[in-house]
Amino acid sequence: MTLWEERAARNEVVFREVNEQVAGLEQGSAGGSASFLCECAEPACIDRIGVPLDVYEAVRAHPRRFIVRPGHERPELERVVGTQDDFLVVEKVGDAGAVAERAARRP
């Protein structure tokens, strides 16, 4: 695993932690959606994506899965497991997946 790959995986984990806080704040507005940060590997990306909360929760149930804007997926790090109009659901493969899973287990 290259340093770049390790950094890319960690970057996505940071965005996930921010988005989990967004989801927590939006709890209670049942059936609603929230504006989440794109969870892609690009550190400079600040795109926001409107995602229904129930969809976000379903993605978050998988430690290796992330939400990214279409075109922001990295085939060398992840594979697309879901396609919507505004976003893709990607699943980390290989070492990037292992990094994501380790981070998700942190208390």
Secondary structure (DSSP) of the chain: --HHHHHHHHHHHHHHHHHHHHHHHHTTSTT-EEEEEP--S-TT---EEEEEHHHHHHHHTSTTEEEE-TT---TTTEEEEEE-SS-EEEEE-HHHHHHHHHHHH--
Closest contact distance (angstroms) between CB of 45 and Zn ion is 3
Closest contact distance (angstroms) between CB of 37 and Zn ion is 8
Q: Which is nearer to Zn ion, 31 or 83 (CB)?
A: 83
Q: Are strands 33-37 and 48-52 parallel, antiparallel or unpaired?
A: antiparallel
Q: Which is nearer to Zn ion, 27 or 80 (CB)?
A: 80
Q: Which residues would be at the binding site for Zn ion (CB under 5 A)?
A: 38, 40, 45, 47, 69, 72
Q: Which is nearer to Zn ion, 27 or 48 (CB)?
A: 48
Closest contact distance (angstroms) between CB of 74 and Zn ion is 10
Q: Which is nearer to Zn ion, 45 or 55 (CB)?
A: 45
Closest contact distance (angstroms) between CB of 36 and Zn ion is 11
